[in-house]
Amino acid sequence: TQLLKQSPQFLSIQEGENLTVYCNSSSVFSSLQWYRQEPGEGPVLLVTVVTGGEVKKLKRLTFQFGDARKDSSLHITAAQTGDTGLYLCAGAGGDDKIIFGKGTRLHILP
């Protein structure tokens, strides 16, 4: 059974600080997606990474896919209150099944 473990579960930091959240598995994924979900809304796709070692940047957000395609990280530089939300990673396995991690709940304090 493929599992995606996200850490930390919760993170509360001051505005302006940097942070990194992680998505780890013992299984290999053909691609990995990151979503942000705000209260009362559905998840919104931020990025998809498909190549081992790939790094993608979305303004202050940097996403990295591990070389072995088993893990990923999301780094936020100079966090803003608008970054508050639930961050979900989702991996596509060899059988094309998509599995979701349980998420990291991020709270940026003003």
Partner 1 sequence: NAGVTQTPKFRILKIGQSMTLQCTQDMNHNYMYWYRQDPGMGLKLIYYSVGAGITDKGEVPNGYNVSRSTTEDFPLRLELAAPSQTSVYFCASSNTIRGNYGYTFGSGTRLTVV
Chain contacts with partner 1 (rule: CB under 8 A): 9, 30-31, 33, 35, 40-45, 48, 88, 90, 92, 96-98, 100-103
Judge contact between 44 and 35, C-beta under 8 A.
Answer: yes
Q: Closest separation between CB of residue 103 and partner 1, Å?
A: 6
| Residue 45 or 78 with smaller CB distance to partner 1 | 45
Q: Closest separation between CB of residue 64 and partner 1, Å?
A: 17
Judge contact between 72 and 23, C-beta under 8 A.
Answer: yes
In 3D, which of 23, 39, 12, 38 has the Cα closest to residue 103? 23
